[in-house]
Amino acid sequence: MTKILAIETSCDETACAVVEDGCRILSNVVSSQINVHTLYGGVVPEVASRIHVENISAVVQEAVKRSGCTMDDIDAIAFTQGPGLIGSLHVGVQAAKTLAWEFDKPLVPINHMTGHIYANRFAIDHDLRFPLLALVISGGHTQLVWMKDDWSFEIIGTTVDDAIGEAYDKVSRVLGTGYPGGPIIDRMAKLGKPHYKLPTPKVDGKYDFSFSGLKTAVSQMIAREEKAGNEIIKEDVAYAFQETALNSMAGKTIQAVKDLHPVMVITAGGVAANSRLRVLLAEEMKQFPEIELSQPPIKFCTDNASMIGASGYVAYKHGLFGTLDVSADPSLPMPGEI
């Protein structure tokens, strides 16, 4: 049995977990800074790194304690090396290196996005199956990733401008409904009706995405309605934005499924928590009963350290160790990406 202690501090969650064999969570501690950043309407990088420094020791100690393990039982220390906010990443990297040095454990640097992908291991009772298509959707990424094998990542589609999570956050800001926008728009859209019409995003690449035009169209539509003296029905705006964005994203995903015939389709990242997307994809995937669809439990969609433990286990099995010289990389590419 392999036990990985995993640390995640790429954005505004200070998180540590102990995960056994990449699939059993012995402990999972997440200290969110959301209440602080909500005051500013978004993550303030300097504030985030300072809070990470204040919390990291207690979070690691709590994760070890709750796991019922001692540091002797831990086989390796996995940590998020990037991508993310440099100041935030530094804190987790430093904590991981200190633990590795003090307790003489191997270090496993992990790309945050591979963590989101392998979080699916907590949704299914078997290893991921390949070839696999992953829709990776977060505050910083919108990607279709083709995995022909374990730990093999080919980005076949990406956003040409904003990430989907970023678009959710911006639309919520325009509506004045708060941060983070994703869960707020998700809840509001449930009460909305098909009243406003927005243009479907257009982009050349077969599997590429675009959300910046849609975000601008929302702002322009609100300005037009206000000028005409019409009351803005925020729930209906949320509904129109969400349906347009998600249908475009699901459409590209299904196109890739048709073209490439994966045995598994998975979603990953904060936006994968979206309730409408979960239903939409499940509906669309009914036309491919032979293909397994996995959507991670909601608490494993947003940032956490268990996912770094799941991904860390696969990297550990592949012998992908780091040295004490390893440093944070805010724009770390996916493994294998040039």
What are the residues binding ligand KG4 (CB under 6 A)?
11, 138-140, 165, 168-169, 180-183, 186, 269-271, 273-274, 302-303
| Helical residues (DSSP H) of the chain, grouped into ranges | 34-38, 45-67, 86-103, 112-118, 164-175, 181-190, 212-227, 234-260, 275-284, 306-317
Q: What are phi and psi of 145, to 5 degrees?
A: -115, 125
Provide the residue type at 146 as one letter: W
Query: What gap in Å lies between CA 121 and CA 111, rounded to an integer?
Result: 16
Q: Tell the smallest beta-carbon distance from residue 253 to ligand KG4 (Å).
A: 16
Residue 11 vs 222, nearer CB to ligand KG4: 11
Q: Is 235 in the site for Zn ion (CB under 5 A)?
A: no
Query: What gap in Å lies between CA 328 and CA 7, rounded to an integer?
Result: 13
Residue 100 vs 115, nearer CB to ligand KG4: 115
Query: What gap in Å lies between CA 143 and CA 101, rounded to an integer?
Result: 35
Q: What are phi and psi of 211, to 5 degrees?
A: -130, -5
> For the purposes of burial, counting CB atoms within 10 Å of the CB of 260, is it exposed (0-12), middle (13-18) or buried (19 or more)?
middle
Residue 8 vs 20, nearer CB to Zn ion: 8
DSSP 230: P
Q: Tell the smallest beta-carbon distance from residue 45 to Zn ion (Å).
A: 15
Interaction partner, residue 169 (Zn ion, ligand KG4, none; CB < 5-8 Å by kind): ligand KG4
Residue 27 vs 172, nearer CB to ligand KG4: 172
Whose tokens are 């690449």? That residue is 205
Number of residues engaging Zn ion in binding (CB under 5 A): 2
DSSP 159: B
**Cα 196-200-202 angle, rounded to 5 deg:** 155
Q: Is 303 in the site for Zn ion (CB under 5 A)?
A: yes
Q: Is 306 in the site for Zn ion (CB under 5 A)?
A: no
Residue 244 vs 306, nearer CB to Zn ion: 306
Interaction partner, residue 120 (ligand KG4, Zn ion, none; CB < 5-8 Å by kind): none
- Measured CA to CA in angstroms, residue 66 lies from 63, 245, 300, 313 at distances of 5, 40, 18, 20
Q: Tell the smallest beta-carbon distance from residue 81 to ligand KG4 (Å).
A: 14
Q: Do the Cβ atoms of 245 and 206 come closer than 8 Å?
A: no
CB neighbours (10 Å) of residue 303? 27
Interaction partner, residue 14 (ligand KG4, Zn ion, none; CB < 5-8 Å by kind): none
Q: Tell the smallest beta-carbon distance from residue 140 to ligand KG4 (Å).
A: 5
Residue 169 vs 303, nearer CB to Zn ion: 303
**By three-state DSSP, how is residue 329 classified?**
coil
Residue 153 vs 168, nearer CB to ligand KG4: 168
Interaction partner, residue 181 (ligand KG4, Zn ion, none; CB < 5-8 Å by kind): ligand KG4
Query: What gap in Å lies between CA 299 and CA 132, rounded to an integer?
Result: 22
Q: Tell the smallest beta-carbon distance from residue 266 to Zn ion (Å).
A: 15
Q: Is 138 in the site for Zn ion (CB under 5 A)?
A: yes
Q: What are phi and psi of 255, to 5 degrees?
A: -60, -45
Residue 155 vs 273, nearer CB to ligand KG4: 273
Q: Tell the smallest beta-carbon distance from residue 27 to Zn ion (Å).
A: 20
Interaction partner, residue 92 (ligand KG4, Zn ion, none; CB < 5-8 Å by kind): none
Q: Is 20 in the site for Zn ion (CB under 5 A)?
A: no
Q: Tell the smallest beta-carbon distance from residue 115 to Zn ion (Å).
A: 7
Q: Is 14 in the site for Zn ion (CB under 5 A)?
A: no
Query: What gap in Å lies between CA 89 and CA 106, rounded to an integer?
Result: 19
Interaction partner, residue 142 (ligand KG4, Zn ion, none; CB < 5-8 Å by kind): none
> Which stretches of the chain bind Zn ion, using CB under 5 A?
138, 303
